[in-house]
Amino acid sequence: MAEKAKIAILVSGRGSNMAALVYAAKSTDCPYEIVLVASNNAEAPGLKLAEAEDIATFAHSHQGLSREEHDKIMHDAIVHSGAEYVVLAGYMRILSDGFVEKWVNRMLNIHPSLLPKYRGLDTYQRAIDAGDTVAGCSVHLVTTELDDGPVLGQTEVAILPDDDAERLASRILIAEHQLYPKILAKYVTREADPAWILNRVRERALALTETHERESFGSPGWRVGSEKTGKYFAYFTQKLHGEASVGLLVKTSGLDEQAALIDADPDLYYAPKFYGKSGWIAIRLNTGRTDWDHIADWLYKSWRLVAPKRLTKMIDIADQF
């Protein structure tokens, strides 16, 4: 199994979601491990539980510090632990923009409502007062807006006629404990998911001028030019012609460039079957270290090689200066 993703959990109190994550991480096939539990409250019960489970802990009070100063202390402790992701589990602090930006796309939170409904506190009573028949919980990526950011997963929980906030909260908590470990596992392994990879390639290919997608022998491909006369500049391969890896096929200037690339970085490049003879190169996309700007550059280079003159003429002129 691939190396496990390293997770730091931030808690302020009880830490039941933290416990759910800690226990989930004990299973050998769990794709993450908890390397740190940190808190702004040295008395947080969650810290004691983490210690008992032999997980490194860190606590530093926010009192007397500015938001930025305290976040910096937490950030340094997280970096020191080697964590690649930050998971908020009842961390009752609003985070500074600077901290959020450092962990963009690598920080998750759980919130006890069906976002975008009921951001902030008192979510259960607000759902009951509104006469909702369902409430629930959401796991989302953290952005600089409170309880905003793309939702990664939700669980709906029915509201019973005699529910009060406490009873509803306790049932939502059961749902939280199942949702968080599952969504975190999915999120940290997304880069190995061919559907996720395909979408990232697609976004970049279709961002180029006058492009469209068309399948070729069952593989998604991208063409430049009109629907009728367009030419392929890229293909997505997943087990294409019997190959095991997930990759992107783009055009090079010819067989010499193809050979030089494979020579320089054989872990990244290979000659694709069938297309290889005409100078196309395959770039592996499931290495877990894909540089997406590099992929965008390759798509552009390949696009340029096959795009009609009317699209590249101005670029060619500009390049001469």
Q: Examine residue 185 and tell whether it contacts ligand GRF (CB under 6 A).
A: no
Task: Rank residues 18 and 35 by Cβ distance to ligand GRF and give the closer one.
Answer: 18
The least distance separating ligand GRF from the CB of residue 120, rounded to whole angstroms, comes to 11
- Sequence-distant (6+) residues with CB within 8 A of 263 are none
Q: Examine residue 16 and tell whether it contacts ligand GRF (CB under 6 A).
A: yes
The least distance separating ligand GRF from the CB of residue 170, rounded to whole angstroms, comes to 10
21, 36, 38, 89: residue in contact with ligand GRF (rule CB under 6 A):
89
5-11/32-39 β-pairing: parallel
The least distance separating ligand GRF from the CB of residue 88, rounded to whole angstroms, comes to 7
How far, in whole angstroms, is CA 86 from its chain's centroid?
A: 12
The least distance separating ligand GRF from the CB of residue 172, rounded to whole angstroms, comes to 7
Reduce the DSSP state of residue 111 to 3 states and report it: strand
- Sequence-distant (6+) residues with CB within 8 A of 40 are 12, 59, 60, 61, 62, 70, 74, 91, 92, 93
The least distance separating ligand GRF from the CB of residue 136, rounded to whole angstroms, comes to 11
Position with the least CB separation from ligand GRF = 90
| Total site size for ligand GRF, rule CB under 6 A | 15
**133, two tokens:** 């028949």
212 in active site? no
Q: Examine residue 41 and tell whether it contacts ligand GRF (CB under 6 A).
A: no
Q: Could you give the CA distance from residue 204 to residue 221 in angstroms, rounded to a whole number? A: 12
Q: Examine residue 176 and tell whether it contacts ligand GRF (CB under 6 A).
A: yes
Q: Examine residue 111 and tell whether it contacts ligand GRF (CB under 6 A).
A: yes
- Sequence-distant (6+) residues with CB within 8 A of 21 are 7, 9, 34, 87, 89, 180, 181, 184
Q: Which stretch binds ligand GRF (CB under 6 A): 11-19, 55-63, 187-195, 234-242?
A: 11-19
- Of the candidates 312, 301, 248, 306, which has an alpha carbon nearest to the alpha carbon of residue 275? 248
Q: Examine residue 112 and tell whether it contacts ligand GRF (CB under 6 A).
A: yes
Task: Rank residues 58 and 233 by Cβ distance to ligand GRF and give the closer one.
Answer: 58
Q: Examine residue 200 and tell whether it contacts ligand GRF (CB under 6 A).
A: no
> Looking at 60, 70, 80, 111, which residue is catalytic?
111
Q: Could you give the CA distance from residue 219 to residue 234 in angstroms, rounded to a whole number? A: 10
Residues in the chain: 321
Looking at the annotation, which residues are catalytic? 111
